[in-house]
Structure 1
Amino acid sequence: MRLRVEADLQYRLPKPADVLLAIEAAPTLEQKLLDDRLRVNSLGALRTVQGDDGIGRRTWVRANGELIASYQGTFLIEREPEPLLGLPVTPHHELPADVIPYLWPSRFCQSDVFVSFVEREFAGLEGGALIAAMASWIHDHIDYRIGSSHEKTSAVDTFLARSGVCRDYAHVMAALTRAAGIPARLVSTYAWQLKPEDFHAVVDVWLDGRWRLVDASGLASTEGLVRIAVGRDATDIAFMTVFGRADFVSQVVHVSRLDEASIRG
């Protein structure tokens, strides 16, 4: 499917500050870039740097007063839905070097805390069947509730509170997966048919030799996701990191399917 993604951000900065943006979707083998454009008001020249694992790029901006960033992109998504059941785990000694760090705990995904829970709750399951069971457990036991968490909420906090938003679902999913000895990383995305529309966080799980998208929240289908950035947890995939202070003014994210009308006809 062809997806058009759009993001318009407006923030007010009381003092000059450096801002790191990650709103440009990433060209990959399964999402081909057809066209895109990023526009930002900046005090100086923009500087781009490569994202983690070579996925996408981030942009440094020097801003003061008003920060306005606008991104539009068109992508051809060639990702078919595939069942997790039956997919085997890659032995640890065969993992690529850049995948190994995603076995370890991180600031918001304290996987070492969940080892005994995973062993008890999902005993007898392995591979894709284990991942599917974890995603179902999270979906069934955590309520999606806007405003129930904040930027410092961790996987442990969400597990105890039993509520959160997409970022929190992804943290718990990654923590449980790593607790089972399977690599998992967070992924920021644009998501087709997501309600309410916003940036969306999901998880990549390494099974059978490659990354597989998993959305434990169930809010979006994986074939309609457009990857932006990947990392250990929400710290690495934030759409905007401000080294100073920025006050929210407005933010609009929209994803449309360009070939939807022709398919209906």
Structure 2
Amino acid sequence: MRLSIDVTLNYAIDGAADVLLLIEAAKGPDQRLLLQDLKVWSDTPLRAVPGEDGIGQRCWLHGEGSFHAEYRATVEILRQPRDLATLGNTPIRLMPPETIPYLLPSRYCESDRLEGFVEQEFGGLSAGPLACALVDWVAGHLTYASGASSGTTTALMTFAERRGVCRDYAHLLVALARAGGIPARCVSAYAPGVDPPDFHAVAELWIDGDWHLVDATRMASSVELARVAVGRDATDIAFMTVFGRATLNQQRVTVTRLP
């Protein structure tokens, strides 16, 4: 699977502000960058820093007034589909140390508040079978609704409201998985067929020795997701963080499958 990615960002920054940009597809064993070009109109040089867990990279820059960025890439996805239901259990005490932060509650994923629900609803399940049941539950109980949530909406709020956008689906699945003893992290990604076209958020679950991408909105399969960044929740994977104030003028994300 090869994807063509085309992104344009145009914002007006109120005064001047430092900006953290996170829109480049990440290199990795399951995806290869065949072509990549990032252009940012800025008075200061870009400074690249590693992303969470060493996946992808962020770029620091300084913006003043008009801020414009363009990103083009061709990504080859090398990932093979996996049947989560067949994946076995690893006792928490034997999990690698890098998974520990993804077992704990975070700002937008209050997994400790959902432990009782997971035990009551999915008691007896673990690892792959539990992951499948949680994905089915989130997909079946939430309604995708643009504008139904905001930047402050948490997994617990989505659990109560039963509607949201991709970020909310990812937060709730991650929180439920952590509540069930499965390390889970949020992932920003590019995917074809996302409606409306935009930066996409999915979950990644650590089961049976590896990370597995899951899109609870069911807009994209794991073999057509181009990973950008990972983190505990949306705080870590935001495509742009402005340390100041900014107004959106134009934002366009186009992802196309290539023959």
Normalised by the length of structure 1, the TM-score is 0.96
Identity %: 52
Q: Deviations over 1:149-199 (max 9, x none)?
A: 000000011011111000000000000000011100000000122222111
Within 5 Å, which residues of 2 pair with 1:16-95?
Answer: 16-95=16-95
2:5 aligns with 5
Q: Aligned to 2:84, what secondary structure does the other structure show?
A: coil
Q: Aligned to 2:88, what secondary structure does the other structure show?
A: coil
**Count of residues paired in the alignment:** 259
2:116 aligns with 116
Within 5 Å, which residues of 2 pair with 1:182-193?
Answer: 182-193=182-193
Q: Aligned to 1:198, what secondary structure does the other structure show?
A: coil
Q: CA RMSD in A?
A: 0.9
Contact 2:11 2:246 in 1 (8 A): yes
1:164 aligns with 164
Contact 1:89 1:182 in 2 (8 A): no
Hey, what's the Cα distance between the residues in 2 that align with 1:122 and 1:219?
Answer: 25
1:241 aligns with 241
Contact 1:114 1:179 in 2 (8 A): yes
What residue identity is the alignment partner of 1:31? Answer: Q
Within 5 Å, which residues of 2 pair with 1:199-214?
Answer: 199-214=199-214
Superposition deviation, residue 98 in structure 1:
1.4
Q: 4+ residue stretches of structure 1 with deviation over 3 A?
A: none
Superposition deviation, residue 124 in structure 1:
2.1
Hey, what's the Cα distance between the residues in 2 that align with 1:193 and 1:147?
Answer: 19
What residue identity is the alignment partner of 2:127? Answer: G
Hey, what's the Cα distance between the residues in 2 that align with 1:182 and 1:3?
Answer: 30
1:96 aligns with 96
List gaps (5 residues or longer) in structure 2: none
What residue identity is the alignment partner of 2:120? Answer: R
Alignment of 1:133 onto 2:126: no
Q: Aligned to 1:132, what secondary structure does the other structure show?
A: helix
Superposition deviation, residue 5 in structure 1:
1.1
Contact 2:14 2:244 in 1 (8 A): no
Hey, what's the Cα distance between the residues in 1 that align with 2:89 and 2:49?
Answer: 32
Hey, what's the Cα distance between the residues in 1 that align with 2:72 and 2:91?
Answer: 40
Hey, what's the Cα distance between the residues in 2 that align with 1:48 and 1:89?
Answer: 37
